[in-house]
Every structure is written in C-alpha cells, then in structure tokens.
C-alpha cells in the first residue's frame, strides 16, 4: 500500500534508507536485472499518482485516535530484544482506514489500516491491507465490504529481530464495521474497534503480540506531506525482507515523487510586469 495520510506532527525522517555502502541500515536487494525489473514494475505507481493527483493507492481515508497495547509473544516469534514490538507497553497512535481505489459508499474495495506511532525519534508507520489469513494467502489482496470481515497483513515480509515475519491485524470480534464512513463512525462511536496484532513465519501460524484499539475520529483534511510511509518512517527493529523489497521501496518512491510534484508551488516568472 501507498499513500496513507495522517495528522501527526512532522518529524525528522528517521526511517529513510541509507545508501548501500556498508554504513548500516536494513539490507538492500542486489542490483542488476532484479533492480531493473523492480524499477519497471514501479512505473505504474508513479503514473497512477500523476493521474489521480494524489498518492497512487489509498489517496483518501479517515483518521482516528488509537491505542496499541503490546503484550509480547514467544521469543521464537518476536524476539524480546526487538524495539517496540518485542517490549510490552502502551502506545497512543493514529489510525487511518482507507480504500485502495476509493470505490463509492459500501462498494467493496481492497481496504487498508495504517498505524502511526509517535515515538521519541519521530513517527513510525505500519501499513496493513486486506488479504487472506492462511500461509500463502497472506500475500494476496482481497476486496472487502467491512473492516471486520477478515485479516489485514503487511502483505510482504519483514525482518523482525533477525527473523522473517509477516505482521497482521485480525478482528477481535464479529462486529460489523462497514466501509462507508457514516456507518463506520457509528460502529466506532458505539464501542472502539479492536484488532489483534499478530505475527507469523511465512508458513507458520499467527501468534498474538498485542491489540490495536480504534477510537473516535480525527480531522481528515490534512496536509499530504504528512502521509503514512513505512519507507520514510520505519518502525525500529523492523526492516523489509525478501526479494520484493526493492520493488516496494521503488513503488513508494515513485508514488511519493509524483504526489510531491503536485504540492510544489508553480514557478514564478522572472519577466517584469508591464
């Protein structure tokens, strides 16, 4: 997913990936043919962002107050030394829910849930999309008509404390949470929505490591420069893993560049006014 927006105060871009020159940071996929293919595959995201005059996917959404309760998990699933996700605690957060292509009303769409943690070193973003829940299907996008209809995952894996893991959000109850805003706000006003934060190996079962609670709405019309972006605002100890990480990085960058061009003021003419 690309392009979740939020109202968190701007902060330094702690999550920017450093150049692949051995100075540290998450590993990058090797160059060559793989990088060329990834660049080509990322082009549609830039084109879509220019056409839509916004981020390529999830350009519109609704933001809510949230709270993330980290309980921890077995060390084999989430190493306890892992910052944030491996340490029990409570975190206020901002939650953005959205549709990938912004279908109207209650029409189905690929749904997104983005979570921003305002940490001391700057914001940290986690993005989830509606997918299947079983191994293999966790990487397959699925349209839904309710935010509590099924699983949300990070789609692609992460390196979590030296282990390859997929993160997910599973509805904690069978309550309906329709995709149109009015119905969703009514559902949240009745009681906060709850999702279990889970982690799993690529072929293993989910294990709970926390709970996300979604509370009352926040203002929506917020600067696009404050978009959710896990490439710029990475969670400490969590790094993209696997052969598709180059594509993910380039897709976010292509969408970001096209959207940022729209935000720039038009050039002023140097000609004297007659």
Average pLDDT, the chain: 76
Mean pLDDT for the stretch of residues 90-106: 91
**What is d(CA 62, CA 9) in angstroms, rounded to the nearest whole number?**
17
Domain span at 127: 58-238
pLDDT at 206: 97
Q: At 188, which CATH number?
A: 2.40.180.10
In a domain, 76, yes or no: yes
In a domain, 114, yes or no: yes
Q: What is the tens place of the pLDDT at every residue in 133-190?
A: 999 999 999 999 999 999 999 999 999 988 999 999 999 988 899 999 899 999 999 9
Percent of the chain scoring above 90 in pLDDT: 47
In a domain, 225, yes or no: yes
In a domain, 19, yes or no: no
Place 257 in a pLDDT band, splitting at 50, 70 and 90: low
Q: What is the tens place of the pLDDT at every residue in 28-54?
A: 444 454 444 334 433 333 333 443 444
In a domain, 264, yes or no: no
In a domain, 117, yes or no: yes
Query: What's the total number of domains in the chain?
Result: 1
């Amino acid at each position: 997913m690309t392009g979740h927006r939020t109202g968190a105060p701007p902060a330094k871009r702690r999550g920017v990936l450093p150049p692949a020159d051995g100075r540290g940071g998450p590993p990058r996929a090797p160059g060559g043919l793989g990088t060329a293919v990834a660049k080509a595959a990322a082009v549609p995201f830039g084109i879509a962002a220019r056409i839509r005059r916004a981020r390529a996917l999830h350009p519109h959404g609704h933001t809510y107050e949230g709270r993330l309760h980290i309980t921890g998990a077995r060390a084999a699933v989430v190493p306890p030394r892992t910052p944030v996700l491996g340490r029990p605690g409570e975190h206020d957060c901002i939650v953005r829910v959205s549709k990938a292509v912004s279908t109207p009303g209650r029409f189905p769409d690929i749904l997104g849930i983005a979570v921003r943690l305002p940490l001391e070193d700057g914001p940290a973003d986690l993005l989830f999309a509606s997918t299947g829940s079983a191994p293999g299907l966790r990487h397959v996008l699925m349209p839904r008509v309710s935010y509590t209809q099924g699983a949300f995952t990070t789609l692609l894996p992460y390196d979590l404390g030296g282990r390859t893991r997929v993160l997910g959000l599973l509805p904690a109850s069978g309550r309906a949470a329709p995709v149109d805003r009015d119905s969703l706000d009514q559902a949240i006003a009745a009681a906060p929505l709850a999702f279990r934060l889970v982690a799993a190996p690529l072929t293993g079962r989910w294990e709970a490591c926390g709970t996300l609670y979604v509370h009352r709405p926040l203002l929506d019309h917020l600067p696009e420069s404050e978009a959710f972006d896990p490439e710029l605002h990475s969670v400490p100890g969590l790094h993209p893993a696997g052969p598709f990480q180059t594509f993910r990085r380039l897709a976010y960058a292509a969408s970001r560049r096209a959207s940022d061009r729209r935000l720039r003021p038009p050039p002023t003419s140097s000609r004297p006014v007659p």
